[in-house]
């Protein structure tokens, strides 16, 4: 793509030269076709996406400052952003109007909400969280620190060994012992609940 030629076409297109606009369309057609083929927007067909891209191209022509001499980059980014906006709007609209939306009629059975987890899984998650918290309370302060540093703060074992000045193999051994201790505590809680 010859940037100087594009700049001159934009200048003519801003002056409402139809031939310049058509030539500009021809220059950007490969990019627009490529982006249109790669993009899926719910309730938009290929031709609709392509037309939105051309619409954005001509909007860029009308607002472009000729002193910048960067029309290709400006319009390419604008076209990509316009497609991304269509996708975002489509996703928002899909949750409000699509199959995941509420169906409000006389029957409660027809009320559908796919975003809510069912009651059983919520209760199980709460139960597991409570058991894990109880098992974590049985750990010593040093063991608790290692668990928080590695599993909750998402640091590596190597970073923990450097932070505490402990050898890496010792940290691995500590981690394995802590996990074994937690497993044993969780299993004993489970066995106690089965007896009750």
Report pLDDT for 114: 46
Structural tokens at position 134: 């109880």
d(CA 146, CA 163): 11
d(CA 49, CA 34): 11
In a domain, 110, yes or no: no
Place of tokens 């199959």: 99
Question: Comparing C-alpha atoms, which of 76, 68, 62 is closest to residue 15?
Answer: 62
In a domain, 108, yes or no: no
- Where is average pLDDT lowest: 32-36, 132-136, 140-144? 132-136
Report pLDDT for 96: 56
Number of structural domains, the chain? 2
d(CA 134, CA 132): 5
Q: Are residues 33 and 93 in the same domain?
A: yes
d(CA 126, CA 118): 13
**Are the beta carbons of 171 and 146 closer than 8 angstroms?**
yes
Predicted confidence (pLDDT) at residue 108 exceeds the cutoff of 50: no
Report pLDDT for 129: 86
pLDDT in tens, 52-63: 999 999 999 999
d(CA 39, CA 80): 10
Q: Are residues 125 and 92 in the same domain?
A: no
Report pLDDT for 115: 47
Q: What range defines the domain where residue 184 resides?
A: 119-195
CATH number at residue 7: 1.10.1740.10
Q: Are residues 53 and 134 in the same domain?
A: no
């Amino acid at each position: 793509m010859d940037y100087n030629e594009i700049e001159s076409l934009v200048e003519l297109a801003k002056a409402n030269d139809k031939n310049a606009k058509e030539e500009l369309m021809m220059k950007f057609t490969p990019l627009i076709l490529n982006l249109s083929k790669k993009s899926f927007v719910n309730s938009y067909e290929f031709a609709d996406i392509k037309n939105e891209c051309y619409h954005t191209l001509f909007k860029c022509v009308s607002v472009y400052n000729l002193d910048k001499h960067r029309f290709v980059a400006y319009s390419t980014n604008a076209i990509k952003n316009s497609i991304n906006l269509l996708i975002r709007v489509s996703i928002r609209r899909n949750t409000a109007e699509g199959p995941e939306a509420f169906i409000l009629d006389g029957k409660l059975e027809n009320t559908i909400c796919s975003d809510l987890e069912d009651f059983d899984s919520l209760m199980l998650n709460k139960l597991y969280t409570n058991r894990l918290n109880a098992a974590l309370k049985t750990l010593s302060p040093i063991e608790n620190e290692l668990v928080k540093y590695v599993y909750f703060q998402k640091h590596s074992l190597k970073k923990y060994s450097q932070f505490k000045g402990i050898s890496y193999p010792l940290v691995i051994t500590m981690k394995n012992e802590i996990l074994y201790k937690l497993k044993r505590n969780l299993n004993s809680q489970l066995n106690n609940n089965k007896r009750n």
